[in-house]
Chain A
Amino acid sequence: MINSYDILETIRMIEKEKLDIRTITMGISLLDCISSDGRAAREKIYDKIVTKAENLVKVGEDIEKEYGIPIIHKRISVTPISLIAGASDDKDYVEYARTLDKAADTVGVNFIGGFSALVHKGYTKGDRILIESIPEALSVTEKVCSSVNIGSSKAGINMNAVKQMGKIIKSTAELTRDKDGIGNAKFVVFANAVEDNPFMAGAFHGVGEGECVINVGVSGPGVVKSALESVKGESFDVVAETIKKTSFKITRMGQLVAKEASKRLNVPFGIVDLSLAPTPFVGDSVAHILEEIGIESCGAPGTTAALALLNDAVKKGGVMAYSHVGGLSGAFIPVSEDIGMINAVVKGSLNIEKLEAMTCVCSVGLDMIAIPGDTPEETISAIIADEAAIGVVNNKTTAVRIIPVPGKTIGDTVEFGGLLGRAPIMAVSKFSSADFVNRGGRIPAPIHSFKN
């Protein structure tokens, strides 16, 4: 029998340190739902999703019970809708979003991702219509998540799209004004988006993926924090080793759940995404890990280096645990969803500029940041451009999920509720980036993208 210490360690991780499977995400290809008749396409989409994902929630709940590991979310990602809807004559794609929302309701998942467009080099007709439909789509649906990829290391940055994103984000905020602009909590702008990310709001089922696949996202900031508490004052070598070992154990758990879910649903298993994804609850914070490493309050000098070490050690442990580690795998640094980040902003140790630096070494980007509602759209676009540049030049995924909150300004706090948490409104630069953003065109791909 496995020794008692190991058994109790696993139980402690789950019960006290909030180790969980953050999400089982079923990726479903909708390529065979394309039709010149929009209505027919939507019927096919609905039927396919509810058939493929019929047992997803039940299987997730069964595994949760039998293995005693909480599985927080069951979700679905689909082929970017711009590719599917483009064949129809529809003039806007809001109906497609409603269809996704309805399908998500029917099967009982809490989010469905893929109201997306990939425009890192240019727009197709479908991309253009989809992007214009985003504000309304996010305001009339509950569960639909949307994303747009505006840059890649191979293609550079599509600055026309960057410019448009500022406008889209502002009008989404306006249309969801009565809910503090929550529409933008469901919208991510990417550079180097990955095709197998199981985490929302950025999940979509890439065209290189198979018909249907199960991806699993594991989380466990609390477990890492607690492991580090036992090596107080030790050198960075020990810190790195401790994180790596912990991340190995967490990933193994994810792999087991993914394999089991894939077997029971009779759907191939894609990847385990080992991301330290915080929640707004105490004991589940990435900022607190950084503070445990020795930073008084997240954002103080040393934070970027600590985060770099954390992100790297998490990947190393995960890769050893399972061959198919994918998605974003690393440390997420959302503000509103992490109690330590929220406190750091309130205390004044963390600001947008420091967060931007942190995104150079974390797994994604500027995430769940609330900003004043009167921030000019060009400033939002320019923030996106900066973030995309970091991703494109460093060959990594970066994203921006930024939420201008109508009617609120610095000093106010916004409550999104549940796992989306609450966010103090953060200051953005007062200086204009309008002339920069209005140039349009494309920023060329960096020289080191020419590897062929």
Chain B
Amino acid sequence: MRAIITVIGKDKVGIIAGVSSELSSMGVNILDISQTIIQEYFTMIMLVDIGKTNVSFDGIKDALNKKGEELGVSIRIQHEEIFESMHRI
């Protein structure tokens, strides 16, 4: 099952490293990353595969929330389908 992770916040050293090491420790595979700065805000979007991890969706969500607080950014994880259904016919 695939999910989209969005990370938004003030740019600083170590955001990508922090988020990806958190994901790797939970066995979440990163399939694609795009990153950009929009109006001084660091915006990273990751497509991940959560099919092979033993951690529950809630568990991943909580871990990412904690990581987000640590890094001073907001991190969301949502099923990929919600974006597909809205933007693809």
Distance from A220 Cβ to chain B, minimum over Cβ atoms (Å):
11
Cβ-defined contact, A249 with B87, below 8 A: yes
Partner of A6, one of B57, B58, B86: B86
Partner of A65, one of B43, B61, B82, B85: B61
A11 nearest CB neighbor, chain B only: B6
Those of B38-89 within 8 Å (CB) of chain A: 38, 43, 45, 47, 57-58, 61, 76-88
- In the complex, the number of residue pairs spanning A and B with C-beta atoms less than 8 Å apart equals 62
Which of A161-169, A251-259, A393-401 faces chain B? A251-259
Partner of B86, one of A4, A65, A68, A249: A249
Partner of B82, one of A1, A8, A256: A256
Cβ-defined contact, B82 with A2, below 8 A: no
Distance from B66 Cβ to chain A, minimum over Cβ atoms (Å):
16
Residues of A within 8 A of B87 (CB): 2, 6, 9-10, 249
**A68/B85 contact (C-beta < 8 A), A1-B47, A4-B45 known:** no
Cβ-defined contact, B76 with A253, below 8 A: no
Query: Is A7 part of the binding interface, using a Cβ–Cβ cutoff of 8 Å?
Result: yes
Most buried by A among B34, B47, B87, B88: B87
Query: Is A66 part of the binding interface, using a Cβ–Cβ cutoff of 8 Å?
Result: yes
Query: Is A431 part of the binding interface, using a Cβ–Cβ cutoff of 8 Å?
Result: no
Residues of B within 8 A of A2 (CB): 4, 80, 83-84, 87-88
Fill in one digit per residue for A359-383: 1 if any B CB lies within 8 Å of its CB, else 0: 0000000000000000000000000
Cβ-defined contact, B61 with A6, below 8 A: no
Cβ-defined contact, A4 with B36, below 8 A: yes
Query: Is A69 part of the binding interface, using a Cβ–Cβ cutoff of 8 Å?
Result: yes
Distance from A365 Cβ to chain B, minimum over Cβ atoms (Å):
31
Cβ-defined contact, A69 with B32, below 8 A: no
Residues of A within 8 A of B82 (CB): 10, 67-69, 253, 256
Most buried by A among B6, B57, B80, B86: B86
Cβ-defined contact, B43 with A68, below 8 A: no
Majority SS of interface residues in chain A?
Answer: helix
Cβ-defined contact, B76 with A11, below 8 A: yes
- Taken together as a complex, chains A and B put the C-alpha atoms of A69 and B47 apart, in Å, by 18
Distance from A242 Cβ to chain B, minimum over Cβ atoms (Å):
16
Distance from A399 Cβ to chain B, minimum over Cβ atoms (Å):
30
Partner of A4, one of B43, B78, B85, B88: B43
Residues of A within 8 A of B32 (CB): 1
Cβ-defined contact, A1 with B34, below 8 A: yes
Distance from A59 Cβ to chain B, minimum over Cβ atoms (Å):
14
- Taken together as a complex, chains A and B put the C-alpha atoms of A66 and B36 apart, in Å, by 25
Residues of A within 8 A of B6 (CB): 7-8, 11
B2 nearest CB neighbor, chain A only: A1
**A255/B85 contact (C-beta < 8 A), A11-B6, A67-B79 known:** yes
Residues of B within 8 A of A249 (CB): 86-87
Cβ-defined contact, B83 with A66, below 8 A: no
Cβ-defined contact, B79 with A4, below 8 A: no
Residues of A within 8 A of B58 (CB): 65
Cβ contacts A to B, 8 pairs, < 8 Å: A1-B31, A4-B34, A4-B45, A6-B83, A7-B6, A68-B78, A249-B86, A253-B86
Residues on A lying within 8 angstroms of B by beta carbon are 1-2, 4, 6-11, 65-69, 249, 252-253, 255-256
Residues on B lying within 8 angstroms of A by beta carbon are 4, 6, 31-32, 34, 36, 38, 43, 45, 47, 57-58, 61, 76-88
The 6 A-B residue pairs with the shortest CB-CB distance in the complex, in nearest-first order: A68-B78, A256-B85, A6-B87, A67-B82, A1-B32, A1-B47
